[in-house]
Amino acid sequence: MRDNIKLIKVREAIHADNDAMADRLREELKASRTCLINLMSSPGAGKTSLLLQTTAALKEKLRMAVIEADIDSTVDAELIAASGIEAIQLQTGGFCHLDVPMVRQGLDSLDIGKLDLIFIENVGNLVCPAEFDTGAALNVMILSVPEGDDKPLKYPLMFSKCDVLIVNKIDYLETPLTDFNLAAMEKRVRKINGTIQIFPVSCRTGQGIGDWTDWLYRRISVQ
Amino acid sequence: MRDNIKLIKVREAIHADNDAMADRLREELKASRTCLINLMSSPGAGKTSLLLQTTAALKEKLRMAVIEADIDSTVDAELIAASGIEAIQLQTGGFCHLDVPMVRQGLDSLDIGKLDLIFIENVGNLVCPAEFDTGAALNVMILSVPEGDDKPLKYPLMFSKCDVLIVNKIDYLETPLTDFNLAAMEKRVRKINGTIQIFPVSCRTGQGIGDWTDWLYRRISVQ
């Protein structure tokens, strides 16, 4: 570290008794053979776009629904519902993440026994959602190319907690607008998460979506 | 709202006794004629890039320092310090926003009386930082073009709290990669914040930076 930087550690322990509830929910969903996926990212990285692409690719094979978390609007749920997929809108009223009681409120409005796959679109935030287990079987995050390849250094908890990393907006890599280095980013991620699955995609062009949905379908089929 | 969306409101009141401390800090800084600016955005929107451009443009005229908040790394403070500007790194250890006691820890390491302008680079997050007054005289946020023009609908508190909106990465507007509509976004912002100053810029090319730094210099000079 350079001499002219002073380093001050501001520590705050974050406690959650949410974990036992999450384990219980996971068991219930496993018993009904319903896979719950918690999708997280920064604002604007492409969560809703990924859900639209993913549900379009799998809708002949799987029965799906989406629980949308949004602070105030219903923009995302409108888009999902317009595509023919059942959507529940949770308005968090300013809350920065979802926990198990909030997810349960969403699930209570769904007929879980008739669903193979439920997506939670978490609040757009790389910090708080990483701290709270939602009861999901799979944690999936999106990093979009314009955000930069240094994000694993800055939000290590999120990258360490996820089973899958979708790298979205890879069509930006072909322009001079960004110096994002995919190999360098992957190296940074794998240093903190040795088992993470990484799928580079463009939700705009559809590139790479098949690799992700094939993997997801196989993963769900063997549950 | 469409028929096939169910709406559930998850409310949680967020209390903060931070406001009185913020007012006190603002008075102290005013008395020493030091302007404190709180810079907020999503991860990867360009906070550090904007600080590098802004301090480069103003360094002959103003005495400046930067307080960097980061969960874990010192990446941003290293960049600022390398440009010759004094940088304080606050490591928040997982905390999702800055409050007044944290900002004070940073300020205690600076010689405030000798500084005209201090920037706080808040945690990359459009949710939590909007809830906590830092004691800054000016709240500035960045929205970057790849995040999408719908963000004022989704993070209204942040847009309503800020004095200045920097729209970064406007060089992306010239490509087919994004359908971001600057006029539509401005209209959405002005509906929730009638007095906000908006500066479209590209920190990569320097476009628009002069308009922002000229405005900022005038604003500080008349304090």
Q: Among A88-97, A112-121, B115-124, whose mean pLDDT is lowest?
A: A88-97
pLDDT at B70: 79
Helix (H/G/I), strand (E/B), else coil: B200: strand
Average pLDDT of every residue of chain A: 90
pLDDT at A121: 96
A169 pLDDT tier (thresholds 50, 70, 90): very high
pLDDT at B15: 40
Stated length of chain A: 223
Question: Residues A120, A67: contact at Cβ < 8 Å?
Answer: yes
The pTM (predicted TM-score) of the whole model is: 0.90
Q: What are phi and psi of A121, to 5 degrees?
A: -90, 105
pLDDT at A2: 53
Whole-number Å distance between alpha carbons of B45 and B177:
16
Question: Residues B144, B41: contact at Cβ < 8 Å?
Answer: yes
Whole-number Å distance between alpha carbons of B67 and B79:
12
Tokens 């001079």 locate to A176
Helix (H/G/I), strand (E/B), else coil: A9: strand
Question: Residues A184, A143: contact at Cβ < 8 Å?
Answer: no
Whole-number Å distance between alpha carbons of B156 and B187:
13
Whole-number Å distance between alpha carbons of A66 and A30:
18
Beta carbons of A125 and B96 less than 8 Å apart: yes
Looking at CA atoms only, how far is residue A22 from chain B in angstroms?
18
Instruction: Considering only the beta carbons, identify the residue of B81, B106, B128 that sits closest to A96.
Output: B128
Contacts of B191 in chain A (CB under 8 A): none
pLDDT at A17: 74
A70 pLDDT tier (thresholds 50, 70, 90): confident
Question: In the CATH scheme, what is the homologous superfamily, with its name and number, of domain A16-221?
Answer: P-loop containing nucleotide triphosphate hydrolases (3.40.50.300)
Asked if pLDDT for residue A39 goes beyond 80, the answer is yes
Q: Report the percent of chain A where pLDDT is more than 70.
A: 92
Question: Residues A148, B44: contact at Cβ < 8 Å?
Answer: yes
In angstroms, the Cα distances linking B91 to A39, A151, B47, B108 are 26, 15, 17, 15
pLDDT at A211: 98
What six digits make up the tokens of A209? 């979506």
Looking at CA atoms only, how far is residue A186 from chain B in angstroms?
17
Beta-carbon contacts of A197 under 8 Å, excluding residues fewer than 6 positions away, are A163, A164, A165, A215
Q: Among A5-14, A207-216, B119-128, whose mean pLDDT is lowest?
A: A5-14
Please state the domain extents for chain A: 16-221
Q: Which of B1, B3, B4 to mutate to probe the A interface, most A CBs <10 Å?
A: B4
Asked if pLDDT for residue A46 goes beyond 60, the answer is yes
pLDDT at B3: 52
Nearest Cα to A60, choosing from A87, A35, A28, A85? Answer: A85
Beta carbons of B74 and A5 less than 8 Å apart: yes
Which range has the top average pLDDT, A79-83, A106-110, A143-147, B77-81? A143-147
Contacts of A105 in chain B (CB under 8 A): 8, 10
In angstroms, the Cα distances linking B89 to A215, B58, B97, B121 are 41, 21, 14, 10
Q: Is A73 or B49 the better-scoring residue by pLDDT?
A: B49
Q: In what order do the strands lie in the sheet with A164-168?
A: A197-200, A164-168, A138-144, A35-41, A117-121, A64-70, A86-91, B5-9
pLDDT at B91: 79
A194 pLDDT tier (thresholds 50, 70, 90): very high
Instruction: Considering only the beta carbons, identify the residue of B4, B72, B126 that sits closest to A81.
Output: B4
Contacts of A185 in chain B (CB under 8 A): none
Contacts of A106 in chain B (CB under 8 A): 8
Nearest Cα to B97, choosing from B120, B125, B60, B63? Answer: B125
pLDDT at B153: 93
Instruction: Considering only the beta carbons, identify the residue of B94, B109, B128 that sits closest to A14.
Output: B94
Q: Among A3-12, A62-71, B11-20, B34-43, whose mean pLDDT is lowest?
A: A3-12
Give DSSP secondary structure letters for A170-197: GGGGGSTT----HHHHHHHHHHH-TT-E
Instruction: Considering only the beta carbons, identify the residue of B2, B43, B93 that sits closest to A126.
Output: B43
Whole-number Å distance between alpha carbons of B57 and B218:
13
pLDDT at B8: 46
Interface A–B counts its CB contacts (< 8 A) at: 200
Beta carbons of A169 and B150 less than 8 Å apart: no
Helix (H/G/I), strand (E/B), else coil: A216: helix
Contacts of A14 in chain B (CB under 8 A): 94-95
Instruction: Considering only the beta carbons, identify the residue of A10, A89, A95 that sits closest to B95.
Output: A10
Q: Which of B2, B10, B145, B153 to mutate to probe the A interface, most A CBs <10 Å?
A: B10
Question: Residues A43, A75: contact at Cβ < 8 Å?
Answer: no
Q: Average pLDDT per run of 10 along chain B, which is 223 residues long? A: 48 56 96 97 96 97 93 83 92 83 91 96 94 95 97 95 98 93 98 98 98 97 74
Q: Is the ipTM of this complex over 0.95?
A: no
Beta-carbon contacts of B11 under 8 Å, excluding residues fewer than 6 positions away, are A93
Q: What are phi and psi of B60, to 5 degrees?
A: -80, -20
CA dihedral B158, B160, B162, B164 (to 10 degrees): 120
Instruction: Considering only the beta carbons, identify the residue of B10, B91, B148 that sits closest to A44.
Output: B148
Question: Residues B140, B164: contact at Cβ < 8 Å?
Answer: yes
What is the chain B residue with the closest CA to A88? B6
Nearest Cα to B139, choosing from B30, B214, B36? Answer: B36
State pLDDT tens for residues A126-143.
999 998 999 999 999 999
Beta carbons of A1 and B150 less than 8 Å apart: no
pLDDT at A58: 97
Q: From the CA atom positions of chain B, what is the Rg in Å?
A: 18
A15 pLDDT tier (thresholds 50, 70, 90): very low
| CA A113 to chain CA centroid, nearest Å | 23
Question: Residues A132, B155: contact at Cβ < 8 Å?
Answer: no
User: For B87-91, which contacts have Cβ atoms below 8 Å and span 24 or more sequence positions?
Assistant: B87/A4, B87/A5, B88/A5, B88/A6, B88/A8, B89/A5, B89/A6, B89/A7, B89/A8, B90/A8, B90/A10, B91/A7, B91/A8, B91/A9, B91/A10
Whole-number Å distance between alpha carbons of B177 and A144:
13
